[in-house]
């Protein structure tokens, strides 16, 4: 019995092309299939996690992930628009995360510290497995930050982002741009070790915990209420501030 193959035409836009082989990037290409399946399954079979997708047009009409492809469909796939509200036209998830919170995988410890330094709520432990990350994402409405595409293909996952770069500064830029965070940076407001919000404290209350030179030269201190770590404008402060300002200065 001869197997009949059908075809559709696909086009992926912008950063979704990062997941495709070179010959399929930034062009419309033909994709063949035998049995009808959902557009979500087609997209993920090509290596693109559904969490990276915010809009699918089938023959010019917005459709959901459960849309069953038809012979000769013309399908356009667009990336997540966290900075734009496309509620009126997209059918894929309840709504973007307008109050961004994150949970990061084991590969992103350095990125976590930089994002916390900039004031962003990021859960991270080096023993979080994929199941734990998904549970936290759903329970606390956190976007998953990961270097593993596989976790983003889980059907339960609604919000997430695959970090492209292996260099921490470029990773920070990716996240700030992807989730439109530039205007809500609140530097040095969060503990980089445990993620808690810092509280301004009286120097006299922590005097016995401070190095003598610090105690004699500075008067403003912040304390983490959870891990009890103290913060002040030490020798690394200007370097960290310069890093943050360099991110703010980027035109996205």
**pLDDT one-digit tens code per residue, 51-82:** 999 899 999 999 999 999 999 999 999 987 65
Do the Cβ atoms of 147 and 105 come closer than 8 Å?
yes
Indicate the residue among 46, 79, 112 that finishes a domain: 79
What is the percent of the chain with per-residue pLDDT over 90, rounded to a whole number? Answer: 82
Closest to 99 measured CA to CA, from 79, 124, 112, 82: 82
Residue owning tokens 């859960």 = 123
Do the Cβ atoms of 243 and 173 come closer than 8 Å?
no
The continuous run of DSSP H or E covering 138 comes out as: helix 130-140
26: alpha, beta or left, given left = phi > 0 and alpha = psi -120 to 50? left
153 and 225, same domain (yes or no): no
Grouping H, G, I as helix, E, B as strand and the rest as coil, residue 38 is strand
CATH number of the domain enclosing 50:
3.10.20.30
180 and 205, same domain (yes or no): no
Q: CB-based contacts of 234: which residues, under 8 Å, 6+ apart?
A: 214
> Mind giving me the DSSP string for 182-222?
GGG--TT-B-TTT-PBPEEE-HHHHGGGS-HHHHHH---EE
219 and 165, same domain (yes or no): no
pLDDT at 129 over 90: yes
142 and 210, same domain (yes or no): no
Do the Cβ atoms of 234 and 246 come closer than 8 Å?
no
CA distance 67 to 38: 5
The string of pLDDT tens digits covering residues 153-201 is: 998 998 899 999 999 999 999 999 999 899 999 999 999 999 999 999 9
55 and 106, same domain (yes or no): no
167 and 208, same domain (yes or no): no
16 and 58, same domain (yes or no): yes
Q: Which residue has the higher pLDDT, 159 or 132?
A: 132
CA distance 136 to 122: 11
Grouping H, G, I as helix, E, B as strand and the rest as coil, residue 171 is helix
In a domain, 95, yes or no: no
Domains of the chain: total: 3
Domain that holds residue 210: 199-243
Residue 20 in tokens: 């495709």
**Span 91-98, mean pLDDT?**
58
pLDDT at 1 over 70: no
């Amino acid at each position: 019995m001869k197997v009949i193959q059908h075809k559709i035409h696909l086009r992926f836009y912008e950063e979704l092309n990062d997941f495709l082989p070179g010959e399929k990037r930034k062009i419309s290409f033909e994709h063949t299939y035998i049995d009808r399946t959902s557009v979500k399954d087609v997209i993920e079979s090509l290596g693109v996690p559904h969490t990276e997708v915010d809009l699918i047009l089938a023959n010019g009409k917005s459709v959901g992930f459960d849309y069953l492809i038809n012979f000769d469909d013309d399908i356009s796939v667009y990336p997540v628009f966290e900075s734009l509200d496309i509620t009126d036209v997209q059918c894929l998830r309840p709504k973007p995360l307008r109050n961004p919170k994150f949970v990061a995988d084991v590969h992103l410890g350095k990125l976590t510290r930089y994002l916390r330094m900039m004031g962003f709520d990021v859960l991270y432990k080096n023993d979080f497995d994929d199941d734990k990350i998904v549970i936290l994402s759903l329970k606390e409405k956190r976007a998953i930050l990961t270097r593993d595409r596989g976790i983003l293909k889980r059907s339960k996952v609604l919000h997430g982002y695959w970090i492209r770069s292996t260099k921490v500064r470029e990773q920070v830029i990716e996240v700030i741009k992807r989730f439109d965070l530039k205007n809500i940076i609140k530097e040095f407001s969060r503990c980089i070790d445990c993620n808690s919000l810092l509280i301004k404290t009286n120097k006299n209350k922590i005097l016995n915990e401070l190095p003598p030179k610090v105690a004699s030269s500075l008067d403003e201190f912040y304390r983490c209420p959870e891990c009890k770590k103290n913060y002040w404008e030490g020798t690394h402060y200007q370097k960290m501030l310069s890093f943050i300002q360099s991110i703010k200065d980027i035109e996205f």
